[in-house]
Chains A and B, each alone.
Chain A
């Protein structure tokens, strides 16, 4: 525990900023019903009311409180993106490393399956799968996770291949270590930094992907609030220089930047570089 705090002390201010934002977002997400002044879908005022003490950020096209929706949006957006990315990374990186370590038929078979998934454009694949199974939140998480397993697999495999030819892996093989050991203890730590960097970006890509699906009418369905679809709903206002759509956009940007600040710091530490 003390070591943990000592490590924290060495963190640069960007990482501190990032961690503070992530913590704040986590608190907002968990305590959403307590913090939000109004319900997620409740119609509480007239349409497009201006910012006031009653409605901090005004109301939206149906007279729902923007501030409350932004808070509930935190929970929905971050929660779903985190879940989806976690599934994609666990499955994708493990399979990728196994493919690199084992090689041969296993590698080829897995690579072919992944190739097939990746050869179909992801937005189209999502569109088709979601239309077939129906657009519910669970199916959306699984479909996007499935789609993102593929690039993670490829990256993990490619990175692991560079490691697998290293002498210490050959040595471990000669020692007769099992597959699990090779994957988790020998290869994973050596490609972790690449994966972590990828995680930061992929995490953001997931909610961008959800936003793109909303753009095509298949994302998180209203009246559920999420940043991507709130952005889409108000996007036409941008052309007139209205700042309302910037709120969810800013929320997405701040969180993305924060996560990647922390990722950068971890990357830097794990690389073992002194400067």
Chain B
């Protein structure tokens, strides 16, 4: 077990380095974007004189390197600074949005992961049956439609035609839990439909892949039931790719839901990020980018550790 902890420590250290690289890259990226905050906010009404005055006020006339390290120094001490655009402390801006994003991700994940795994295992068990095919086709149709389309269709049937759920998820952190679930039901359902197919298909594929191995044949010849074979012999050996695809989709639920947020007007981090990029609010872009990167790195670390723990061969590997 000690080896695992060494690995975790090593990965965490690497994660920090990755974070640094990511933050530097994002900073450079924003610097490379045409236009800056002053121009974006003043828009058509900008004159060279007013833009210059605004830049000076924002400190954008200082060298880029200096601004980056100033931000970094603050961020290391837990101070993300203030938004250039409206002087609000970024940590305050982020905490509410982060909470919202995590809530929606957790909501979608608690429904989709168990459902996807179960369906995937069942599909592998009854492969090529009507059930398998049906699961497959339905999942494929959902996954092949753009998110906004899925969202619009759900709105049409569950909000406009039959007023079951609100089409706007304007949630407040102070709302009771039941209200939160009710209001974020449609975006969560959209996300469930979008991520489920991928996980389900990978589960099915990974299990079927293992089923051809000699030891499975052996287990089968010993007269084990198909379900037992899959649960006790195939699944453990197919876990690595499954865990990976689950981690990928979890990361997606946290960082990639911009479009769903826009359609349901859900105040999450994704929209904040896009907004900050369009307005070139470097400070906000940096901070949200850092959060996203951290979420991604952590999820992958967990996935990696789980893959190793669940694969006896990798545990005993001599490398």
Residues of A within 8 A of B (CB): 12, 14, 103, 108, 112, 115-116, 118-124, 127-129, 131-132, 151, 154-155, 158-159, 161-162, 165, 193-194, 197-198, 201, 204, 208, 211-212, 215-216, 228, 231-232, 235, 238-239, 241, 245, 249, 252-253, 255-257, 260, 264, 267-268, 271-273, 275
Contact = CB atoms under 8 A, between A and B. Distances in A.
Contact of A212 (B14, B147, B300, B317): B147
Given A132-B29, A215-B146, A239 B313 contact: no
Nearest to B208: A271
* The 6 nearest A-B residue pairs measured at CB: A256-B144, A119-B293, A121-B255, A211-B146, A197-B205, A238-B152
5 contacts: A103-B319, A108-B14, A216-B274, A252-B144, A268-B127
Given A197-B202, A249-B149, A253-B141, A239 B155 contact: yes
A272 B32 CA distance: 52
Nearest to B194: A208
B311 interface: yes
Contact of A257 (B141, B244, B259, B289): B141
A124 B277 contact: yes
B136 interface: yes
Nearest to B148: A215
B258 interface: yes
Contacts of A273: 127, 208, 211-212
Given A115-B300, A127-B277, A228 B146 contact: yes
Contacts of B140: 253, 256-257, 260
B160 interface: yes
Nearest to A108: B14
Nearest to B308: A161
B73 interface: no
B209 interface: yes
Interface string B182-219: 00000000000000011001100110110110000000
**Which secondary structure dominates where chain A touches chain B?**
helix
B241 interface: yes
B196 to A, nearest CB: 12
Interface string B20-35: 0110011001101110
Nearest to B139: A260
Contacts of A129: 29
Contact of A158 (B255, B297, B307): B307
B314 A212 contact: no
Nearest to A131: B33
Given A158-B244, A256-B144, A245 B300 contact: no
B240 A161 contact: yes
Interface in B115-131: 127-128
B256 A120 contact: no
Contacts of A208: 144-147
B136 A128 contact: no
B149 A245 contact: yes
B133 interface: yes
B144 A235 contact: no
B162 to A, nearest CB: 13
B277 A121 contact: no
Contacts of A122: 256
A197 B205 CA distance: 7
Contacts of B240: 158-159, 161-162
A209 to B, nearest CB: 9
Contacts of B270: 121, 123
B218 to A, nearest CB: 15
B137 interface: yes
B33 A128 contact: yes
B259 A212 contact: yes
B144 A253 contact: yes
Given A121-B273, A197-B205, A256-B144, A271 B33 contact: no
B309 interface: no
